[in-house]
């Protein structure tokens, strides 16, 4: 079974400060990991993903995430937060070796990021 | 290229009524999914399809049915709506044959209220 935990329901950060949104995962094999962002009354937008290779993944809008296999984490980061980054962020995982071909993702419960001006 | 579209955007039903939500994608994706989003619970998979003519149950399938008669369309039906089905429903699709083609692309959502 695969699972994802986002331990913080809410993260507040001042504009211009670095931000981190935490994610830990559990899979039986090796993971594919994803971050999505959801703005109010919108669908989820893809930010970035880790498939293999370099542990530091760069994505859209200046976001990046670091895959840490020993800590089973995939925290989302940005060096300097913008007010426009305020949104709901979801981490998702798929076990690379999962049986079948359904490519199902398991999502975390989401973290509401608020960037204060 | 519209990506993933959903109709309707909003709907209010009375308990016991039925309705169908339509998802359409123009990316020639094989895989399509229906999720529901409830506060504090993230996204939960209702049903999915790995190709035209195929469907399978996800995590929370009870009370829902689906059909994938055409590759580009994935329909979600509620035969007898209940207040517990008040939620925001998202459709997603993904495709491709290579490693790393798992990115799911989402529609804008349907907000359903069952009174």
pLDDT of residue B101: 64
Residue pair B61/B48 in contact by the 8 Å Cβ criterion:
no
B4 touching chain A per CB within 8 A: yes
Residue entry with tokens 């981490």: A91
**Was domain B4-95 assigned CATH 2.60.40.10?**
yes
Please, which residues bridge with residue A34 across strands? A49, A92
Per-residue pLDDT reduced to its tens digit, B11-38: 999 999 999 999 999 999 999 999 999 9
Per-residue pLDDT reduced to its tens digit, B83-97: 999 999 999 999 866
pLDDT of residue B98: 63
pLDDT of residue A63: 97
C-alpha to C-alpha distance for B102 and B99, rounded to whole angstroms: 8
Per-residue pLDDT reduced to its tens digit, B48-73: 998 999 999 999 999 999 999 999 99
pLDDT of residue A104 exceeding 60? yes
Host H or E run for residue A2: none
Residue pair A115/A86 in contact by the 8 Å Cβ criterion:
yes
Contact (CB<8Å) A44/B43: yes
Per-residue pLDDT reduced to its tens digit, A14-50: 999 999 999 999 988 888 999 999 998 889 999 999 9
Chain A residue set in contact with B, beta carbons under 8 Å = 9, 32, 34, 36, 41-46, 49, 51-52, 90, 94, 101-105, 107-110
pLDDT of residue B95: 82
Indicate which CATH number applies to the domain containing A34: 2.60.40.10
Residue entry with tokens 């859209």: A60
Domain ranges of chain B: 4-95
Report the mean per-residue pLDDT for chain B. 92
B83-87 long-range contacts, Cβ below 8 Å, gap at least 24?
Answer: B83/B15, B83/B114, B83/B115, B84/B114, B85/B112, B85/B114, B86/B112, B86/B113, B86/B114, B87/B36, B87/B37, B87/B38, B87/B112
pLDDT of residue A102 exceeding 80? no
Q: If you average pLDDT over residues B68-81, what whole number do you get?
A: 96
The residue of chain B with its CA nearest to that of A9 is B40
Residue A93 sits in which domain range?
3-116
pLDDT of residue A95: 82
Q: If you average pLDDT over residues A66-83, what whole number do you get?
A: 96
pLDDT of residue B37: 95
Band of residue A98 on the pLDDT scale cut at 50, 70, 90: low
Band of residue B45 on the pLDDT scale cut at 50, 70, 90: very high
Tokens of A73: 């984490």
Residues 6 or more apart whose CB falls under 8 angstroms from that of A70 comprise none
C-alpha to C-alpha distance for B47 and A84, rounded to whole angstroms: 33
Contact (CB<8Å) B103/A94: no
B20 touching chain A per CB within 8 A: no
Q: What percentage of chain A exceeds 90 in pLDDT?
A: 76
Look at strands B43-49 and B56-57 and give their pairing: antiparallel
């Amino acid at each position: 079974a695969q699972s994802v935990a986002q331990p913080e329901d809410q993260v507040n950060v001042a504009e211009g400060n670095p931000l981190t949104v935490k994610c830990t995962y559990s899979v039986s094999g090796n993971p594919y990991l994803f971050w999505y962002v959801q703005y109010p009354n919108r669908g989820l937008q893809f930010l970035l993903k880790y498939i293999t290779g370099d542990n530091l993944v760069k994505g859209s809008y200046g976001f990046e995430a670091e895959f840490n296999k020993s800590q089973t984490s995939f925290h989302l980061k940005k060096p300097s937060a913008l007010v426009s980054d305020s949104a709901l962020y979801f981490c998702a995982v798929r076990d690379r070796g999962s049986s079948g071909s359904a490519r199902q993702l398991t999502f975390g419960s989401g973290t509401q990021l608020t960037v204060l001006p | 290229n519209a990506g993933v579209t959903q109709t309707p955007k909003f709907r209010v039903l009375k308990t016991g009524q039925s309705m169908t939500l339509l998802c359409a994608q123009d990316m020639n994706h094989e895989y399509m999914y229906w999720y529901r989003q409830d506060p504090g619970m993230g996204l939960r998979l209702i049903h999915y399809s790995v190709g035209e003519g195929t469907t399978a149950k996800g995590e929370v399938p009870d009370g829902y049915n689906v059909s994938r008669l055409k590759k580009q369309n994935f329909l979600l039906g509620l035969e007898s709506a209940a207040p517990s089905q008040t939620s925001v429903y998202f459709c997603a699709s993904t495709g491709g044959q290579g490693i790393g083609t798992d990115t799911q692309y989402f529609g804008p959502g349907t907000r359903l209220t069952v009174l």
